[in-house]
């Protein structure tokens, strides 16, 4: 008896191409900045914060919108990549450069990731 492995899923549970995710992220950040932080503070009905950090490889300053959980005076950021077997790129940025800026609804704080 022979078996074949299933083809990679292209259904609702799969991740979109990386260029789509990067484009949507940049647009989300741009629109939030354009409105002075008044709009685009949520994604799919959940609040997001905007985390500005230095890239681990490039050294460039990047900002990404991330869902978060308020925790004391800070926030919890979960680097799950939707349950993928690898960490999102921003996780590696925080490990190498833990000094970040977290902004939400026109309020910014400068915590150190730990």
97 has a pLDDT exceeding 50: yes
**Of 74, 79, 77, 78, the residue nearest 110 (C-alpha):** 74
Domain that holds residue 36: 18-109
Given this model, what pLDDT does residue 80 score? 83
Query: Is 13 contained in some domain?
Result: no
Query: Is 6 contained in some domain?
Result: no
107 has a pLDDT exceeding 60: yes
For residues 57-81, give the mean pLDDT.
89
Given this model, what pLDDT does residue 65 score? 93
Q: Which two tokens stand for residue 3?
A: 């078996």
Of 14 and 19, more confident: 19
Domain count, the chain: 1
Given this model, what pLDDT does residue 4 score? 43
Cα 4–2–85 angle (5° rounding)? 35
Report how far apart, in Å, the C-alpha atoms of 53 and of each of 5, 32, 36 are: 40, 17, 19
């Amino acid at each position: 008896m022979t078996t074949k492995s299933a083809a990679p899923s292209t259904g609702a549970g799969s991740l979109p191409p990386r260029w789509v995710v990067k484009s949507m992220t940049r647009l989300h950040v741009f629109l939030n900045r354009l409105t002075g932080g008044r709009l685009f503070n949520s994604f799919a009905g959940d609040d997001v914060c905007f985390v500005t950090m230095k890239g681990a490889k490039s050294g460039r300053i990047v900002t990404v919108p991330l869902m978060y959980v308020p925790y004391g005076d800070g926030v919890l950021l979960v680097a799950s990549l939707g349950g993928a077997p690898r960490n999102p790129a921003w996780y590696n940025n925080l490990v190498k450069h833990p000094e970040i800026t977290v902004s939400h609804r026109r309020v910014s704080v400068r915590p150190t990731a730990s």
